[in-house]
Amino acid sequence: MQYHRIVFLRDEEAEKVLKIIDDEGPEAAILYLSDWDFGDGGGEVTDEPSSGDADDVFEDENYRLTWCSRLGYVGLEELYPEPEQEGDDL
């Protein structure tokens, strides 16, 4: 799996999304934050998710939501399947 960073919010910017998570659940937060996914492929793509030990994590089939209420941040990454390597079809 590869991870495409869509958005990372902290402090005051994250407060609204953290409230959505508390009130409506992580699915609603993904729906809200997915508005930042412009589908242009811009942004960093990594082989490892950008989350730490203190993070709460929720994944659906398209996105990975990470957040830490105590530290006041939230992030959304789009999930990409691993690119096929040459010779994988043998």
The pLDDT tens digits for 9-59 are: 999 999 999 999 999 999 999 999 998 877 766 667 888 888 888 899 999
Strands (E), 1-90: 2-10, 45-46, 56-59, 63-68, 73-80
Quick one: residue 39, left, alpha or beta (phi over 0 = left, psi -120 to 50 = alpha)?
left
Amino acid at residue number 62? N
Provide the pLDDT for residue 89: 57
Asked if the structure places residue 17 within a domain, the reply is yes
| Residue 26 lies inside a defined structural domain of this protein | yes
- Please tell me the predicted confidence (pLDDT) of residue 42: 65
**What is the number of domains present in the chain?**
1
Whether residue 8 lies inside any domain: the answer is yes
pLDDT of residue 50: 86
pLDDT at 80: 85
> 6: domain range?
1-49
CA atoms within 13 A of residue 71's CA, in its CB half-sphere? 13
Percent of the chain predicted with pLDDT > 90: 61
Q: Does residue 34 lie in a domain region?
A: yes
